[in-house]
Amino acid sequence: MLIVYHNPRCGKSREAVKWLEERNIPFQIKRYLDEPLTFDEVEKLVELAGFHTIDIIRTNEQVWKEKYAELELDDNELIYAIIEDPILLQRPIVYNPEKDLAVIARPADKIQEVL
């Protein structure tokens, strides 16, 4: 079953959920703002999506600009920034544990890449 790292206040995240519902694709939601991610979870998502750690960070968020933008952070420090301020995580991320694949689902049809 797919896992959607979801922020219900985000339009793109809601679009991904709708895309899955319209296609009757089973999924579960992980509300990462309410259920903090572990270091290992974030590290795995980065690896599976094939990105650099900075690529899954929302650098346009105010908290990034205020706390992190001027710092030279390594990958581990970037992951800890996401753990401390989960709003920094790009969204939505859709993870397929059966195929061990993840994608930032923007636009929503990028979900096809992990099916």
Annotated catalytic residue within 10, 29, 73, 83: 10
CA 64 to chain centre: 16
Q: What angle do CA 67, 55, 82 make, to 5 degrees?
A: 40
Q: What is the mean pLDDT of residues 60-84?
A: 97
Domain count within the chain:
1
Lowest mean pLDDT among 13-22, 47-56, 78-87: 47-56
Q: What is the CATH number of the domain that holds 61?
A: 3.40.30.10
Q: Judge whether residue 49 has pLDDT over 90.
A: no
Range of the domain at 26: 2-114
Distance CA(112)–CA(26), nearest Å, equals: 13
50 catalytic? Reply is no
What is the overall mean pLDDT for the chain? 96
